[in-house]
Amino acid sequence: MLKKFSDESKQLNKSILSLAIPNIISNISVPLLSSVDTAVVGHLDQVSYLGAIALGSMIFNFIYWAFGFLRMGTTGLTAQAHGRSDEQESFNVLLRALSVAFGGAIILIAFQEFIGYVSFYLINSNAEVESLAREYFDIRIYAAPATLSIYVFHGWFLGKQNARIPMIIVILINLLNIGFNLLFIYQFEMKSNGVALGTVCAQYIGLIISATFYFKSFHNKNMLIRLNRIFDIEAISMFFKINLDIFLRTLLLVFTFTYFTAESAVYGENILAANTILLQLWMLLSYGIDGFAFASESLVGKSVGESNNVFLKKVIRYSFYWGMGLSIIYSFIYLVFGYNILSIYTDKLFLIELAGSFLVWTIIAPIINSVCYIWDGIYIGATQTKPMRNSMIVSTLFLFFPIYYLTNDLWGNHSLWMAMTIFMFSRGLLLTILSKKYIFAND
């Protein structure tokens, strides 16, 4: 009996790690691309090129974060269909999501003038940087069909319990992007517009690679394209309901972090710089923990599809074991090596000391933040997105903003970090409380 339990635990741990590790590697490759872009453009003759890349990338980050539901929603629905061994519905989910991705991309391209006007109206920059950033934007927007479709393929592969293929795709796209950027800038003497064109080329090749992996590894000739099934009213309603919840939740998350950065600037450029560095450490945390959150999406979705509550409980328990274990390691590293890590980001001693005075919030962040990260993956896998949306609404509107406005006169920047920390803690706490109704309802 003990041997059977041990074997099952080993197999589950193996499944979690086989999904988590490739996702962690994928996540780590993303800042690598950003670093290379910055290094290449940063060596051009004008600083304005670097500013154009920063502004243009910020706009697209905001747009594509909003479309993150295409990956998350697709993962949960595909994983549940996979758990039911319903291959036709898995195929339908893919086509349904790709249809939404192409529709969304067409809207973005059609309204690019309006999106660009609003974006640059809200951003305060000098005329030269804005002109270059607008050129970058006008080129890169045409990558939207490929970018959004890759989100769908990424989520679909994860739903099929395969994290290796998305890892390969992400790494290849980033390597291609770096190669195209170097080619266009050094061979064809382009500037920031070369980086935009490099992204467009890499994204479309990435889409071709994604489709190739699908046809090579998953395509079944018996799968039929039945428009009445793909655009079934009930299925479409479920798809949009789930994804609308994720969209609203993500929008509030982006808004909170954007507001945090904007409010940091109110305290002056030094506080803004210090907070920006510390937020990078929060992002490093998310790169690791999100690997286990993605694993939870896949395995929870599969167990829900199989109606296997015993396996569901084990997946959740072991996901927290791994996620919280990694978070403790992060906190220990930040505690012991915090100032050394800060010195990697800047050589200015006064800035290191300033950031160090707020480092305590980053030291405790891994343990606090990991709870909501893992629960997000669990709720997405179970396609229970309503509580994710509601917990985000409560945490943002009824905790983050009131706490900050009631205390900022007393504690200044510490108040901003405290509000952000309570915001993350609240999300985890609320999702834990709601799990009895939405995740464990069939016990």
Residue 32, pLDDT score? 62
Distance CA 105, CA 99 (A): 10
The model's pLDDT over 179-203, given as tens digits with 9 standing for 90+, comes to: 998 899 889 888 888 989 999 999 9
Select the more confidently predicted residue: 237 or 79.
79
Which phi and psi (to 5°) does residue 85 adopt? 60, 35
Residue 43, pLDDT score? 66
- How does DSSP classify residue 357? T
Q: pTM for this structure?
A: 0.86
The model's pLDDT over 63-118, given as tens digits with 9 standing for 90+, comes to: 888 888 899 999 999 999 999 999 888 999 999 999 999 999 999 999 999 999 98
Select the more confidently predicted residue: 358 or 217.
358
Task: Give the residue-averaged pLDDT of 134-153.
Answer: 95
Distance CA 368, CA 251 (A): 21
Residue ranges of domains in the chain: 26-231, 242-443
Q: Residue 288's pLDDT band (boundaries 50, 70, 90)? A: confident
Task: Give the residue-averaged pLDDT of 159-184.
Answer: 93
Residue 2, pLDDT score? 46
The model's pLDDT over 105-125, given as tens digits with 9 standing for 90+, comes to: 999 999 999 999 988 887 766
CB 133 within 8 A of CB 52: yes
Residue recorded with tokens 């051009």? 44
Residue 280, pLDDT score? 81
Residue 176, pLDDT score? 93
Nearest to 242 by CA among 395, 89, 75, 107: 75
CB 174 within 8 A of CB 314: no
The model's pLDDT over 243-254, given as tens digits with 9 standing for 90+, comes to: 899 999 988 998
Interior/surface letters 106-126, b for 16+ CB within 10 angstroms, e for the rest: eebeeeeeebbeebbeeeebe
Q: Residue 163's pLDDT band (boundaries 50, 70, 90)? A: very high
What is the residue-averaged pLDDT of the chain?
A: 89
